[in-house]
Structure 1
Amino acid sequence: MGAVYTQLSLQERRKIENWWHAKVPVREMARVLKRHKSTIFREIKRNFWADDAFPKKYAGYFGHAAQLQTNKRRSVQRKLIRHPELCKTVVAKIKLGWTPEQIGNRMIYEGAKLRV
């Protein structure tokens, strides 16, 4: 199995924000947070805020806003939360002893519109 990946926490995002405003190099941020530098680069790029209606001095990376955006992205992707009937079906089959692979493949075989 590969390495275990954990999401950045709000505290880590706040540290990145402070360091970004202080112009600390990304390599140093990554070293202190014990993360790969590409993780920090992606985080800043993905959650960088800029609006043409505001002057450029207001653009930047903001840790709390980044956390809210991340929570929003993750909640949108949760199919079982968005579709309660699908969730009931999956939970029922798991209680019968089916594996997630068996459930997903059976849904493909049956031609279900919603699949996991």
Structure 2
Amino acid sequence: MATLIERKTRYTVLLRNNDRKSKPLMNRLIHEMSPLPAEARRSITFDRGLEFVAWRELEIGMGTRAWFCDPQAPWQKGSVENMNRRLRRYLPRDTAVLQLTPRSMRMMCQRLNATPRKCLGYRTPTEAFRDELIRLEAP
């Protein structure tokens, strides 16, 4: 499973990567992120997993720059590590992620994005992301 988190609003998107292949995952990222305004998808930071070797597809497909964490440096993607801990509330370690239905993944994501966060002034990531999109689209 790929966990995407918008840095400013903590808005989360979960993507299932059935075979851990890079090209299908990059195509899915492009499909999911392309509707967003260009300002909302300027860059993305990955860890060093093999599923991200086709990162150039993002630059070609939608102009999004790719960055990578240093090896063995999980603190460089602290939001993702924190979100993975939150996900463990719903998905014990022995959960077969490939058996999760798209509906159950959407429901988990909606619940995570509907949880108020102290760092957002007790707004939810959904509220903060919506407000940010409105701000970006304003003239």
TM-score w.r.t. the length of structure 2 is 0.27
Task: State the TM-score, normalizing by the size of structure 1.
Answer: 0.30
With a CA cutoff of 8 Å and minimum separation of 6, indicate the structure with the bigger relative contact order. 2
